[in-house]
Structure 1
Amino acid sequence: MRPGKSIGFLSFGHWMDHPDSAVRTAADSLVQSVELAEAAEELGVDGAYFRVHHFAQQLGTPAPLLAAVGARTSRIEIGTGVVDMRYSNPLGFAEDVAAADLLAGGRIQLGVSRGSPEQVIDGWRYFGFQPAEGESDADMARRHTEVFLQAISGQQFAQPNPRPMFPNPPGLLRLEPYSEGLRERIWWGAGSDATARWAAQHGMHLMSSTLKEDESGEPLHVQQRRQIEAFREEWAQLDHGFAPRVSVSRSIVAITNDTDRRYFIGGGEREDQFGQIEPGSRAVFGRSYAAEPDQLVDQLRRDEAIEAADTLLITVPTQLGVDYNAHLLESILTHVAPELGWR
């Protein structure tokens, strides 16, 4: 991670068969995701991150995409924000991610979580998973995550066959392939202060998005800053052997030309929104930032969570295409980041 602040992009990978969309098919989404990562690396962006949703016209299973980006780039961090662990077989997922990390030369920064409300009711059931008796689906996600963490740590747990096809090393066997260092590059997408502390307890970095459980009625950036403090306080009490990282994601557009003005002037939410995403759960949704560079710098300087985080993930409007999104990222690196001390 560079001094100042690490800056990455976060793509949801939406596609839509519509004349105004540059991303009309799943193939378009995957290919352009790789191309945007290549363009971002050339610009000096630090990270290429991808959202994962199921049963939707968005990016799904992440490992093939992470591997493809890893094969076509050489420096940029490659991550997810986030994988819904309710849907994941922990051991199969561990194999896939370790292979992608080896292909990428140890650049995977994997964000996992309980996930958000999905397109279908209890979609994880179609993937063959069901909470154990007394468990919630969130409990199941955390259980899957704990097994996944053990598997990628190289823990030896499997009883060898006395008559194997190939000779075994002595003792119990670990999952292969094993990618050294991957265990220290796992992030947890926390929606509350309590889950941020849980992430710290399990040695996972903190990923906080534009959506958070409303715990005080305050603006998102204030609640996130307190969440970050809770995470770091918990981490400081433990000895994981490596330093914690914290990311926040934001929709940020530096308006520098007429195309930017046409797309973004007057669009998006300029204030935080409060509402329900699930019955009985009140959430705060973060505002969007879109302004001329000097105004944008003033606005972002007041965002307490961005200031507290070491990593900023900028959500990109995927359907506008690779060239335009590269322009948006370059505008932030050129006109905004230096003024705020991020570069």
Structure 2
Amino acid sequence: MPLPSVPLARLGFLTIGSFDAADPGPGHERTLAVVELGERLGLDSAWVRHRHLQYGISSPLTVLAAASQRTRRIELGTAVTPLAWENPLRLAEDLATVDVLSGGRLNPGVSVGPPMHWDDVKAALYPHTADTEDFGYDRVARLLRLVAGEPASTFSGREGVVEEFSARVQPHSPGLRSRMWYGGGSLRSARWAGEQGMSFLTSSVVKAGDAAAGDGADFAAIQRAHVRAFRAAHPDGDAARVSQGLVVIPTDSASADQRARYAAYVEARTPRTAAPQGPAQLLFARDLLGTSEQIAEELYAHAGFQEVTEVVFALPFSFADEDYAQILTDIATRLGPALGWRPHGIPSAGSGSARRNGIGARPAGPPS
């Protein structure tokens, strides 16, 4: 296995937060338990997906507000919030509130574009303004201005006996603007995010149309081009934050049954990685399955990974609690150290186990 030239500095994970439609409570509770497990394992960040009209978390900020009261150190992020579903002013209020509740640990990731199945949902989402809504970058720019504390109203001051009004969003969280992320899969988005001084979330999907001559359908080469374009446009240059997100499934402590199920999951998803998919020509990355040493070798050879010092590994969809416990534990105690990363607040000897670090177990005290 090749040695890293630069140790991985930050390691986080992403979960969809699936639940049963007939009984959604336990699924949401499991998501909170996964975040708690991530903190116990010393991971740097926990991120939740945003799924509207699906059986996954539709209100990540609500869930993260709850998670903020059950954790003390781990950073909390959204990856990503599609702004087409949001009013930027109301969202700015929610973001600031959760950031205050978490003690400045929120990392909001956002994206643009029309809602999925737009023709099916527009009558419910924007019954009177569907034809005039702007789902482009201006929506992000408006959110950024409001989060930064620029005026949201022309009125401020006292009205009546006790009501005091502010011209800007309240509460105001001064450091939040510097922790705003853009989730992009195209060169255009990468450049735009850099120009805005945002951080950049890459994922397991890119637009194949961004391939340079000779790259063809090379996911890693396209992702590398996005990262370089982002940093070239960012005021901080090479110091601008970029996080890579791929699906990784380490099997070091997995049972034979788990390994078989994981292999079947990856096999079913692999055909979509062979060529660009759909009208948008989306190219999907392969899921990385194997021992931590094998996955580390693949990552070190990955042109996109070679550009970053932080990652947010995505948990697979629809796995069991014990699977997530095993995967997260192996990520924190085997894969992370193989990439030069060290956990925070726990011994680094790789002594964790999926059984001891099970989902739902409570920490004995605050992390050091």
1:18-46 Cα deviation digits (max 9, x unpaired) = xxxxxx74222221111110011000111
- The 2-side partners of 1:141 and 1:104 are apart by 30
Q: In the alignment, does 2:124 pair up with 1:126?
A: yes
Question: Given that residues 155 and 174 in structure 1 are in contact (C-alpha distance below 8 angstroms), is that contact kept between their aligned partners in structure 2?
Answer: yes
Q: In the alignment, does 2:159 pair up with 1:164?
A: yes
TM-aligned CA deviation for residue 340 of structure 1 = 2.5
Q: 1:75 to 1:222 in 2, by over 3 A?
A: same
Q: Which piece of structure 1 moves more, 205-214 or 315-324?
A: 315-324
- The 2-side partners of 1:57 and 1:123 are apart by 16
Could you tell me which residue of structure 1 aligns to residue 350 of structure 2?
Answer: none
Q: 1:86 to 1:262 in 2, by over 3 A?
A: same
Q: Could you tell me the percent identity over the aligned residues?
A: 29
Q: In the alignment, does 2:275 pair up with 1:274?
A: yes
Could you tell me which residue of structure 1 aligns to residue 89 of structure 2?
Answer: 91
Alignment of 1:282-321 (within 5 A): 282-317=281-316, 319-321=318-320
Question: Given that residues 270 and 289 in structure 1 are in contact (C-alpha distance below 8 angstroms), is that contact kept between their aligned partners in structure 2?
Answer: no
The number of aligned residues is: 325
Q: TM-score, normalised by structure 1?
A: 0.86
- Unaligned runs of at least 5 residues, structure 1: 18-23
Alignment of 1:257-268 (within 5 A): 257=254, 258-268=256-266
TM-aligned CA deviation for residue 164 of structure 1 = 0.9
- The 1-side partners of 2:118 and 2:24 are apart by 19
Q: In the alignment, does 2:18 pair up with 1:14?
A: yes
Could you tell me which residue of structure 2 aligns to residue 178 of structure 1?
Answer: 172
- The 1-side partners of 2:227 and 2:90 are apart by 31
Q: 1:291 to 1:157 in 2, by over 3 A?
A: closer
- The 1-side partners of 2:207 and 2:45 are apart by 26
Q: In the alignment, does 2:187 pair up with 1:193?
A: yes
- The 1-side partners of 2:338 and 2:297 are apart by 10
Runs of 4+ off more than 4 Å = 129-133
Alignment of 1:197-208 (within 5 A): 197-208=191-202
Which of 65, 70, 73 does residue 71 from structure 2 map onto?
A: 73
Which of 129, 135, 140 does residue 135 from structure 2 map onto?
A: 140
Question: Given that residues 56 and 119 in structure 1 are in contact (C-alpha distance below 8 angstroms), is that contact kept between their aligned partners in structure 2?
Answer: no
CA RMSD of aligned residues (A): 2.7
Q: Which piece of structure 1 moves more, 325-334 or 268-277?
A: 268-277
- The 2-side partners of 1:249 and 1:70 are apart by 23
TM-aligned CA deviation for residue 15 of structure 1 = 2.6
1:66-107 Cα deviation digits (max 9, x unpaired) = 111111101101001100001100111111111011000000
TM-aligned CA deviation for residue 7 of structure 1 = 1.2
Question: Given that residues 13 and 314 in structure 2 are in contact (C-alpha distance below 8 angstroms), is that contact kept between their aligned partners in structure 1?
Answer: yes
Which of 5, 8, 12 does residue 4 from structure 1 map onto?
A: 8
Could you tell me which residue of structure 2 aligns to residue 339 of structure 1?
Answer: 338
- The 1-side partners of 2:84 and 2:114 are apart by 10
Q: Which amino acid aligns with 1:14?
A: S
TM-aligned CA deviation for residue 243 of structure 1 = 5.0
Question: Given that residues 8 and 46 in structure 1 are in contact (C-alpha distance below 8 angstroms), is that contact kept between their aligned partners in structure 2?
Answer: yes
Question: Given that residues 211 and 285 in structure 1 are in contact (C-alpha distance below 8 angstroms), is that contact kept between their aligned partners in structure 2?
Answer: yes
- The 2-side partners of 1:124 and 1:193 are apart by 28
Q: 1:14 to 1:283 in 2, by over 3 A?
A: same
TM-aligned CA deviation for residue 330 of structure 1 = 1.4
1:138-197 Cα deviation digits (max 9, x unpaired) = x5242221111111111134122676143648xx71111111100011100112011111
TM-aligned CA deviation for residue 295 of structure 1 = 2.4
Question: Given that residues 10 and 48 in structure 1 are in contact (C-alpha distance below 8 angstroms), is that contact kept between their aligned partners in structure 2?
Answer: yes
Q: Which amino acid aligns with 2:43?
A: V
Q: Which amino acid aligns with 1:113?
A: S
